[in-house]
Structure 1
Amino acid sequence: MTAPDVVECTLDELAERARTLVVPGTRHLLGLTGAPGAGKSTVAAQLVARLGPGASMLVAMDGFHLAGTVLDRLGRGARKGAHDTFDDAGYAAILRRLRAADPTETVYAPEFRRELEEPIGSAIAVPPHIPLVITEGNYLLLDSGAWPQARDLLDAVWFLAPGDAVRRDRLVRRHEAFGKSPEQARHWALGSDERNAELIATTARHADLVVRLI
């Protein structure tokens, strides 16, 4: 397998790359992936903003988190965010519907609400005229479960690769912002988040592009 190209670019330059996938009358799907704290959700939101109204929408993988009660029943609550704490088949199914772009169908997708730490069903309405759907998440390039089905539905997947120190600092600050103590935030960022990051790093070779934002 050929190693993916590595590019250093600004957000504006990345948005221009994404703009090539905005083709009226045709639906394209762009994936952003990377380790926890790589900036996926921020970059995805910025791309949507830069592409302008009616050009794109964001449907994130995080909306397919299994509910907390399900994770507790499965004994996975303490490692929420691991690849088997998501409905990967459900995620692939919604991408399939988005890819089909039925001109009569608005697709309703779930959204993860961090203030609740739970997904909310049918919270995002994607009308049929939107030419580009951007999706982001940790496991878009994982080669187990239903994740390969999801990958096959994406026109391109870009792997965001900031420095590890920057990424870990973002994670700690994020956990603190959502109510964890500094000690709890560091424990989570350097524990389960870091184990997930090690797995995700092995998938970068499957990306179409590795991106280092300037």
Structure 2
Amino acid sequence: MVSLIWKILVRDKPESSNNRDKARLAFQSMWVAGTLGAFFVALLSNLSKHIPETAWPKDVDALYTMQLILSYGYLLWFLTYFFISNFSNEILQKARKKDLLFDIIQSLVAFFAAYKLGFLSLNLNFSYISYAYASASVFVICFLSFLLFGCESKRGINLIRVYGLIISLISIFSANYFAEKQSVEQVGEYFMLAVIHFLMWIILWPFMWIRIDEAAENPGL
């Protein structure tokens, strides 16, 4: 039995067959599309809870509003990022092993961020640490992409990776600093985190067009 399985695994496949490449590409597309779908469901599920709370411009809770903006900002950032990643995968003709590895890891760290932010449990977590975890997920994505694809990418996309690393690090240290102060949560502190997060959106914009225009030449972020 074991010898039969081994013979099947080590047998020579037909040179003209690229079914394994197609299967790997299909799995990669399915994985990223599934991640995109999961984030979209999380967005709609949580919006149905928070939209009825809208009381603008009357009886506005500034702190709660800023926390919601920051939390949904991260979720929409990941949603946009994986939309572009899925679009790029549809263009690629062949999935390399490191492309597949990268997509699996980045999906897992993004799910971890969504979990820490409370989107998966429909009970948002507004603590500073939750935003530190979300920024750490962005850091991991940027670092891993630079590690795996930096040597083969153009200068522009590598600069985006470096900027992403710097901005996410600033966000991580800022959120941890606010958490360690152990003082009453302030609107200004969340506003500062929101400004830093806005910088993540700024670098996501050129990345979107690079992935759309040069998907086959520049895999990964």
Specify the structure having the higher radius of gyration (Cα).
Answer: 2
- Bigger fraction of residues in strand: 1
Per the normalisation by structure 1, the TM-score is 0.25
Per the normalisation by structure 2, the TM-score is 0.24
Larger RCO: Structure 1 or Structure 2 (Cα < 8 Å, ≥ 6 residues apart)? 1
- Bigger fraction of residues in helix: 2
